[in-house]
Amino acid sequence: MTPSECLFCRIAQRQLPARIAGEEDGLLAFEDVNPQAPVHLLIIPTEHLPTLADATPAHTPLLGRTVQFANRLARERGLGTDGYRLVVNCGAKAGQSVFHLHWHLLGGRSFQWPPG
């Protein structure tokens, strides 16, 4: 899939609309169109990376910054005390449906474990 065909690349390039929640160098957060919780953001690298399994050692700084970015977004939304869930579905069998790496940041309700 080329970046021009990738839904989340097109959102990153502002070719498709999204409710942007924040951005920083190489990362973008926007609201999930089908939220599963009162807070449901998607965090993506602006670089096209199909799945988490495609991350190389060169991506380690980006992945670390993703966690810091998620923590900041969660704090800004008042989730710092109650807690939140940060999820990556890696591959079709794990439930990944959009093949551009994304992290789900979910909060504002209670969650069960295991997720099912």
- Which residues make up the interface to ligand AMP (CB under 6 A)? 7, 18, 32-34, 42, 89, 95-98
Nearer Cβ to ligand AMP, position 17 or 80? 17
Is 100 considered catalytic here?
no
Name which of 4 and 34 has its Cβ closer to ligand AMP.
Answer: 34
40, 48, 100, 102: the active-site residue: 102
Q: Which amino acid is at 56?
A: T
DSSP, residue by residue, 14-65: TSS---EEEEETTEEEEE-SS-SSSEEEEEEESS---SGGG--GGGHHHHHH
66 touches 43 (CB < 8 A): yes
Report in angstroms how near the CB of residue 81 gets to ligand AMP at its nearest.
Answer: 25
Q: Which residues are catalytic?
A: 102
